[in-house]
Structure 1
Amino acid sequence: ARDVIKEQASVFNGTCNVYAPKYRAVVLKAYSKGDQGQAAYNAAFSDVCDAFKAFLSRWCVDNRPFVLAGHGQGAEHVVRLLKEVVEPDASLLKRLVCAYPLGTHIGNDTFKSIPVSSAAADVGCWVTWCTTSNQIAMSDNCDGHVAKHNGKAIVQFTRRPISVNPLSWRLDRKYVGKGQHLGAIVDGKVVPNFVGAVCHKNGAQDGMGGSLQIDPTESDGVEQFALSGNAKDYHSADYSLWWMNIRHNVAERVNAWHHQIMANSVQSQGYAKYADESNNCWYSVASDVEGPASWVPDGASACVESDQAKCDAFYVHPTIVMGWLSRQLNMDPDETGLFGMVSARDV
């Protein structure tokens, strides 16, 4: 679990100060518990929403730009932040560099005014993908966790999902070869030219598409990224398979945002310092040398110094299921069996 957090949050530390909220993440069974599960899920989002508002009021201040990111359940909460907090606020929309809610299904019908990115330097937009083998149509773990109870979906953001190809940052169905692959994280090292990818049936009316497909026969070792129990689903590797492409893209978009702002004569005021832990809702992962988001793999540039960061990233971790019982974390503060209190420091 720690490696999942490390390999996801750290992708932003080449350009951004990285912040991650502690929240009552729901466990997987909550998605199939109907109204009770929905209430638990809403409580989890409430924690994330409060933390995001604290992030904006205490650390990402003075018109500084921000990146929103998450994976799985974390991505779902990021989508809700975009819909319920960012989109209605014109001043926040101007500061949004890009959202990276990976591993959940989103489509052109998800937001009213925030567009999907169609080029590598677009800003004020979002990207997503759900990585699978080319032998399946879509990921069972990347459908907005559309778990149903009596026919009711707990979470559903679109009926026509799409993926952006992180090798080209385009939406078309053109296969992009592994020559454009800048690096996956393999055993703590950046390994380039590892695998190619193609977007499958983006926006298909039958809903059976929107995945980012790879050919597992193309590279030795790609099987290590597959989910346990489903060798054709690479949900847990939505960040680590494309790590270096994401890292470069974050830098490109942040630079594009600053150029655009300068052209419009609106200034971002200085560089905020890292947060401390005086507020118990927060853990500033990048401020701690042992923190998972300060990690960089062999072959990558160093973590940016806090006073040089051009942007702030708000990252929401996915559902963490590995080792919870044995680790005796404060899993169930409300004794419903639906929560797992976890932060980046815990895993």
Structure 2
Amino acid sequence: MTNPQKSKFWQITILGAAVFLILLGLLAYIYRDDIFQHIQDPGQPFQTYTPPKAPDYSDSEAWLAQPDLSQDPYELQSKGDVFVVVPSVYRGGEHWNLPSDDLRRKSKLQRIVRPNYVSPYGKAGRLFAPYYRQASLYAFMTSREDAVMAQELAYSDVKRAFEAFLTHSPPERPIVLVGHNQGASHVQRLLADYFQGPLKSRLAVAYVIDYPLLESAFESQLSDLSPCEVETDIRCVVAFGAFVPGDDVIAERFAMRALVHNGETYKAVNGQPLVCVNPLTWTRDTDYAPRRLHKGGVAAEGLDPDMNPAALSQQVGTQCENGLLLVDKPRSASLRRPIQVGAKFRTLPSNLFYEDLKQNAVARVEAMLATGELPVRTQTIEDFDVIEIEDSPVTPVQK
């Protein structure tokens, strides 16, 4: 016969273990982002860290996207040059910065980042997008000095790549500058370092996407520029950080704890006013922009970069509020954030405003060219048609 007391003991033990596991799972779910952040810590000071080998931007292998440089840009139909600084794909854990030979992340950049975050701008001009030793995601989650040094290393690559880009971009071509996520942080620094002088005349537009841009920056390090106010403004900056319902944690991080460069060092946003340009209206007003204005998002994971994916239009309405772009839940599941550990911090395998950005970049390049303010290259002898002249005998004039 079964001992009733022993049976009851095991029932209580099993029930207690089940309750413990449920509570443990619940705590893990509640603190999943903190756990995710903790395991990304490289675990060593940057001062003793050996950085990965620097990319050589004279080598085509150092570029995620680069045009055929043997072609004369004067003969191409696309009239602009586009420099894209790609978003984060490296979470951390072992390194402060993404190793240049990390084939797994290079594959992710090729499969997800290029078709979603680089290709949309191909209609506006020749595409240049460098690989760089991007700072780990962890470096954007802490204010430690190590994190600042990791970001400085990443920017040093972006700066060298941009200077290489300039050697291939002649003065008659407008420049479109693009940064998504971490890339947008570096683009802000490029704007401060290169576009506060003569090069500003070539800037069709700069897109600072999903990284905070302080309004006060236009009173200091970006004083020669201004936020874009309408869809064909030129020599201006479009900025927005998009958040769907349920993004409260990353919205708070964006508006309060994200680190932005003030011209000297990185400081937390700490609630300062942010620039928000609505990508459905291309204005800074706070009116709700309905879904019918949405030109289309794309989930282009794994597509060939030369393909033109069909955009899903009228997916979301948008509204700028307190410097944040509030976005409706997309109708298509393919444009929503995947459910996975650390999903709030991962680069999405889709671009919700793919078609809106694509068309706007073209419009601004065309608007700049229409001003007639950029120089026109003087034709060389090779540009003219050659006319053969036949020898003809000289006939003396009869007196």
Report the TM-score when normalising by structure 2. Answer: 0.57
- Structure 2 regions of 5+ residues with no counterpart? 1-107, 301-308, 379-399
Are the counterparts in 1 of residues 295 and 355 from structure 2 also a CA contact under 8 Å? yes
Equivalent in the alignment of 2:239: 128
Equivalent in the alignment of 2:147: 37
Report the Cα distance in structure 1 between the residues aligned to 2:334 and 2:316, rounded to whole angstroms: 8
Equivalent in the alignment of 2:258: 146
Return closer, same or farther for 1:236/1:256 CA change in 2, 3 Å cut-off. Answer: same
Equivalent in the alignment of 2:320: 199
Deviation at 1:108, TM superposition (A): 2.1
Asked if residue 267 in structure 1 is aligned to residue 379 in structure 2, the reply is no
Which is higher, the Rg of structure 1 or of structure 2? 2
Equivalent in the alignment of 1:63: 172
Equivalent in the alignment of 2:311: 190
- Structure 1 regions of 5+ residues with no counterpart? 202-209, 271-347
Report the Cα distance in structure 2 between the residues aligned to 1:84 and 1:144, rounded to whole angstroms: 25
* Two-structure CA RMSD over aligned residues (Å): 2.9
Stretch moving more, 123-132 or 20-29: 20-29
SS of the equivalent of 2:113 reads helix
Equivalent in the alignment of 1:106: 213
Report the Cα distance in structure 1 between the residues aligned to 2:293 and 2:123, rounded to whole angstroms: 20
Once the two structures are superposed, residues 272-316 of structure 1 have per-residue CA deviations (whole angstroms, 9 ceiling, x without a partner) of xxxxxxxxxxxxxxxxxxxxxxxxxxxxxxxxxxxxxxxxxxxxx
Are the counterparts in 1 of residues 212 and 258 from structure 2 also a CA contact under 8 Å? no
Once the two structures are superposed, residues 164-200 of structure 1 have per-residue CA deviations (whole angstroms, 9 ceiling, x without a partner) of 1111001111111111111111465311111111111
Return closer, same or farther for 1:180/1:223 CA change in 2, 3 Å cut-off. Answer: closer
Return closer, same or farther for 1:136/1:115 CA change in 2, 3 Å cut-off. Answer: same
SS of the equivalent of 1:23 reads coil
The one of 336, 348, 351 equivalent to 1:224 is 336
Stretch moving more, 137-146 or 25-34: 137-146
Larger helix percent: 2
Are the counterparts in 2 of residues 118 and 169 from structure 1 also a CA contact under 8 Å? yes
Are the counterparts in 2 of residues 94 and 124 from structure 1 also a CA contact under 8 Å? yes
Equivalent in the alignment of 1:178: 291
Return closer, same or farther for 1:241/1:81 CA change in 2, 3 Å cut-off. Answer: same
Once the two structures are superposed, residues 106-139 of structure 1 have per-residue CA deviations (whole angstroms, 9 ceiling, x without a partner) of 1321121210001000000000111112555662
For CA contacts below 8 A with separation 6 or more, give which structure has more relative contact order: 1
Report the Cα distance in structure 1 between the residues aligned to 2:345 and 2:319, rounded to whole angstroms: 14
Once the two structures are superposed, residues 289-346 of structure 1 have per-residue CA deviations (whole angstroms, 9 ceiling, x without a partner) of xxxxxxxxxxxxxxxxxxxxxxxxxxxxxxxxxxxxxxxxxxxxxxxxxxxxxxxxxx
- Give aligned-pair identity as a percent: 25
Are the counterparts in 2 of residues 132 and 235 from structure 1 also a CA contact under 8 Å? no
Report the Cα distance in structure 2 between the residues aligned to 1:192 and 1:255, rounded to whole angstroms: 24
Report the TM-score when normalising by structure 1. Answer: 0.64
Are the counterparts in 1 of residues 297 and 335 from structure 2 also a CA contact under 8 Å? no
Larger strand percent: 1
